[in-house]
Amino acid sequence: SNAFKKPNLRPSLPPPPAFAFDMDGVLIRGGKAVPGARRAIERLCGDNPQNREMPFIVLTNSGGESEASKAAKLSKQLGIEIKGDQFIVSHTPMQALAQTALRSKLVHVVGPDAVKDVAKGYGFEKVVTTREIRAWDKRMWPYPVLGGDHDYHRHDPSFNLTTDPISAILIMHDPPDWGLDIQIITDLLLSQNGHISTRRPLHHASLPADHPPFIPLYSSNADFLWSNDYAFPRFGQGGFVAALRGVWAPLMRDQPNGADRELPIAGQFGKPSAATYDFAKRVLARNSSNTKDAIGTVYMVGDNPASDIAGANRHGWTGILVETGVYKQGDVVVGDERPEVVVRDVEKAVEWVMRREG
Ligand code: G3P
Ligand code: MG
């Protein structure tokens, strides 16, 4: 037999590029597929000159439902299958909080009622919604409640607001009724250790400089704007938090410690946060491990410079900005919100990468 090894004449291919697609304003708008979106994803599933599969995820700041149900909805809208484990929504990395002491504590979730089940799915054992809190004493919000009044006496038996303090507030998705949530979140921050009916002293200059910390408030999405099929961008969760900040500042105006005048945000998730990009990197690595390929350049295709592109630039990905959502031709983007390239839509983005990667 031949003692000499034949040289390997097949040059080994560099690792394929990977993609992170934003959803609203890139793949869909107002529940309808953006033209070319399905085609773009098909290209990654092997329909390309090298017949290579390229790993991808959907990385969206939307939420309000489980990853699996969001993925199923998007699959239907696009007519191509996207799996739940390829889908990261704004609150997906909040799972990590359920691995802390908060797991068995009572947490307040903000968003549509469905976020309660999402939080339970993440492992939180005791979860209360805004409507459930308000039902405990309707005088807290003496106005009509969207979705109707809740009957506290038939509430979830896992908690009792008379005795259980609320240990954290998780804004998981844009709340349907901003006013109600601003009132209840403010009440909780001003309470003594999360007991809803109590209050810290809050007279002029009365909050001592060494007061106990506010209960932690987490936000899952800093997007001020997002894009549906209306002609102009809509306020996102970041808009809601700006409104909350807007009432917090005058409320705390007379506090001696200037820091107390700023809304205490304990943690920020969603694009462009490190928590979300780190989580996404782990998902991409896991999903591509079956192809045994290392991960090549990761391209983030997004419509929002402040969210998708800033996140990509800050976390080592290459940002591609499209014109089908928040960003419009002629808008000025500066600093770390500047993408590598601007293209018309997601299909053009994938074509640009294919050309670049050869
Ligand atoms: O609420 C949805 C929104 O803020 C953004 O969604 O997919 O553009 O990150 P997406
Ligand atoms: Mg978007």
Residue with tokens 């979705």: 147
CA of 321 to the centre of ligand 2 (A): 10
Q: Residue ranges of the alpha helices (H) in the chain?
A: 37-44, 67-78, 115-122, 130-136, 178-190, 237-251, 274-288, 310-314, 346-357
For residue 9, name the pLDDT band (cuts at 50, 70, 90).
low
Residue 201 is predicted with a pLDDT of 76
Pocket probe mutation, ligand 1, options 62, 82, 174, max atoms within 8 Å of Cβ:
62
pLDDT over 70 at 146, yes or no: yes
Across residues 274-301, what is the average pLDDT? 87
CA of 285 to the centre of ligand 1 (A): 23
For residue 153, name the pLDDT band (cuts at 50, 70, 90).
confident
Phi/psi of residue 352, each to 5°? -60, -40
CA of 225 to the centre of ligand 1 (A): 8
pLDDT over 70 at 291, yes or no: no
Pocket probe mutation, ligand 1, options 223, 225, 301, max atoms within 8 Å of Cβ:
223
pLDDT over 60 at 10, yes or no: no
For residue 209, name the pLDDT band (cuts at 50, 70, 90).
confident
Tokens of 269: 């998730």
213 preceded by a cis bond (ω within 30 of 0) = no
Residue 67 is predicted with a pLDDT of 97
pLDDT over 70 at 121, yes or no: yes
Across residues 250-275, what is the average pLDDT? 92
Helices 37-44 + 346-357 axis angle, to 10: 30
What domains are there in the chain, each with its CATH number? 18-90+272-357 (3.40.50.1000), 92-268 (3.40.50.1000)
Across residues 105-121, what is the average pLDDT? 97
**In the predicted model, what is the mean pLDDT of the chain?**
92
Higher pLDDT, 252 or 347: 347
What is the residue type of 210? D
Across residues 156-176, what is the average pLDDT? 96
Give the nearest ligand 1 atom to 271 CA. 9
CB 215 within 8 A of CB 164: no
Lowest mean pLDDT among 98-102, 164-168, 202-206, 235-239: 202-206
For residue 300, name the pLDDT band (cuts at 50, 70, 90).
very high
pLDDT over 70 at 290, yes or no: no
Across residues 148-170, what is the average pLDDT? 89
Residue 295 is predicted with a pLDDT of 84
Minimum CA distance residue for ligand 1 atom 8: 24
Q: How many CB atoms sit inside 10 A of residue 244's CB?
A: 22
- C-alpha 113/C-alpha 108 separation (Å) is 11
**Torsion angle in degrees (nearest 10) through CA of 253, 256, 258, 262:** -50
In percent, the amount of the chain with pLDDT more than 70 equals 94
Contacts for 59 with CB less than 8 Å, ≥ 6 apart: 20, 21, 22, 88, 271, 276, 280, 300, 308
pLDDT over 90 at 112, yes or no: yes
Give the nearest ligand 1 atom to 22 CA. 7
Residue 46 is predicted with a pLDDT of 81
What is the residue type of 5? K
For residue 136, give the nearest of 117, 154, 118 by alpha carbon. 154
pLDDT over 90 at 354, yes or no: yes
